[in-house]
Amino acid sequence: IARKNYLGAMSHAEKILSADPENSVGHRVIVNASQALNYPQTMISSLQILKKANPDDKDLTKELAAALEMLGNWDQAEEIMAKLAKVNPDDPVLQQAYKDTAAKATIYRGRYEATFKKDEERVAGDDSAPSNKIRTAEEALNDRINLMEERLQNEQENYKLGVDIAKVYVELKDFDRAFEYYDWVQRENQVSDSTIDKAIADAHEAKFNHDIGQFPEGSPEREGLEAERDEFLLRDCRERADRYPTMPEIRFELGERLFRVGEANEAIQAFQRAQNSPKHRLESLNYLGQCFMQRGLYDMALSQFEKALEEKGVFDEQKKELVYNLACVYEHQGRPQEALHHFKSIYEVDIQFRDVVQKVEAGYSEGT
């Protein structure tokens, strides 16, 4: 870091984190190097892990908000600073920092709304168009692209804007044009960026899904494209996981894709890494439990679901799934009373959840 060899510093830090994913020194190096290289997404991943270990550290919270600002996520940055300001009402520096962030967020939202208001006025003021014309969603997206492309002419190093334009082309199903923009961004940017790589992967997935939708269910063409899609996206995700080894969100995505194709062993490795991320911890534990169930390791599956439920409060869809999976483990272990108890807890709040009605009725009919 001191020698400004930021990529080298990140490489050394990644080796440390591969052996110890929660090493605070390694994550601090990643944060400092990512800030110098303008990699906000990488910064955010490490800052979230540092904050998990030090939840009351005000400086970490401010750093996280700053990284979100760099990424353009003003709403979340404002929300984080608001919470910090609320629990530290006597800190004038922090209160001012929150006001600054809130002001920037307001300006950003105002510019965004003004852009589209101007667009609406321009269309409404077009004398050649009928006064009562209602624009379609496609027309609105095309107008939005025109404005963004005009802006890009004056901001030719604004690669984030190039990515945003590509995303709109994906919405329009104009995939050739979208990939032209992504190719331009990658060629000109010349710096690895996980958010761009993920956007490109999402565009490929959208194109596959669009093509798949052209064929009827069960047709050989559709099944062939689905297999091609899954293979391509898994390969792409593996490459991104290797390229960004310290980013738990990519590990989580890799675990999901491996789980879907039945690669339980490799999926376990990915979810074990991903659970270090506060954002993905509960879902990672849920998937780990399911992976262990697939392998018949019911005691280990039980442990994962119980750990997740200890950290889960509100009885939402995620908790229902955790409780359901836990009950299924008890079924496999030959413990019908415990299984019925948990199925009933879901039945009491959501009778339509999966096959919980049949599970509960079967339990009563068997006299459990």
Domain positions in the chain are: 1-55, 62-114, 156-235
Q: What is the CA radius of gyration of the chain?
A: 25
Give the CA diameter of the chain: 77
pLDDT one-digit tens code per residue, 315-328? 999 999 999 999 99
Pairwise CA distance, residues 325 & 272, whole Å: 18
Q: Write down the pLDDT at residue 131.
A: 46
Pairwise CA distance, residues 100 & 78, whole Å: 9
pLDDT one-digit tens code per residue, 104-155? 766 565 555 555 555 555 545 555 544 445 568 888 888 888 998 888 888 8
- The angle formed by the CA atoms of residues 84, 89 and 94, to the nearest 5 degrees, is 55
Which of 206, 200, 243, 289 is CA-nearest to residue 281? 289
3-class secondary structure per residue, 42-62? HHHHHHHHHHHHCCCCHHHHH
- C-alpha 259 chain-centroid distance: 17
φ and ψ of 112, to 5 deg: -60, -45
Pairwise CA distance, residues 66 & 50, whole Å: 15
Q: CB-side exposure of 303: number of CA atoms within 13 Å? A: 7
Q: Write down the pLDDT at residue 90.
A: 78
Walking along the chain (368 residues) 10 residues at a time, the average pLDDT comes out as: 77 83 87 82 82 81 76 72 77 76 65 51 52 68 88 87 93 94 89 90 97 95 95 96 91 96 95 91 97 96 96 92 97 95 95 94 80
CB 119 within 8 A of CB 135: no
Q: What is the CATH number of domain 1-55?
A: 1.25.40
Which of 87, 47, 54 is CA-nearest to residue 71? 47
pLDDT one-digit tens code per residue, 147-175? 988 888 888 888 889 999 999 999 999 99
Residue whose tokens read 């995620």: 318
CB 353 within 8 A of CB 324: yes
Task: DSSP for 311-330, please give it.
Answer: T--S--HHHHHHHHHHHHHH
Q: Write down the pLDDT at residue 313.
A: 84
